Amino acid sequence: KQEVTQIPAALSVPEGENLVLNCSFTDSAIYNLQWFRQDPGKGLTSLLLIQSSQREQTSGRLNASLDKSSGRSTLYIAASQPGDSATYLCAVNLSAQKLVFGQGTRLTINP
């Protein structure tokens, strides 16, 4: 059974810092991995999608990497801003859009 773990569960950093969020999964047989952010009481916003054949993807200040063999992904956020405060979720796509989610990392950026 695929399990997805995110560490840390919560993170608080001052504005301007670069930070890394971690995601690990137990089964490397995945279609892709996707990172989302969720603001309180809202839906999920897609940040980055990495296909299983790719090693990384970048969008603005965000960079995500994928190491399928070790079952790990990282989300790097450069020059953090208060508006980045949210819960960040990673999800692996097992098959036919069946996503398995981690429990998320609650990120707080302090001005």
Backbone angles phi, psi at 2, to 5 degrees: -70, 130
35 part of the interface to another protein, by CB under 8 A: no
99 part of the interface to another protein, by CB under 8 A: yes
Taking CB under 8 A as the criterion, the residue among 89, 92, 107, 109 binding another protein is: 89
Compute the distance between CA of residue 93 and CA of residue 4 in angstroms, rounded to an integer: 11
Q: Which stretch binds another protein (CB under 8 A): 20-28, 59-67, 71-79, 87-95?
A: 87-95
Query: What is the pairing mode between strands 44-51 and 32-38?
Result: antiparallel
> Minimal CA–CA distance to 23: which of 98, 95, 99, 84?
99
- In the complex, minimum distance from the CB of residue 43 to another protein, in angstroms, rounded to a whole number: 4
Taking CB under 8 A as the criterion, the residue among 12, 18, 81, 103 binding another protein is: 103
Compute the distance between CA of residue 12 and CA of residue 32 in angstroms, rounded to an integer: 28
Q: Which stretch binds another protein (CB under 8 A): 18-26, 37-45, 60-68, 76-84?
A: 37-45
104 part of the interface to another protein, by CB under 8 A: yes
**Footprint on this chain of another protein (rule: CB under 8 A):** 31-32, 34, 36, 41-46, 49, 89, 91, 93, 95-104
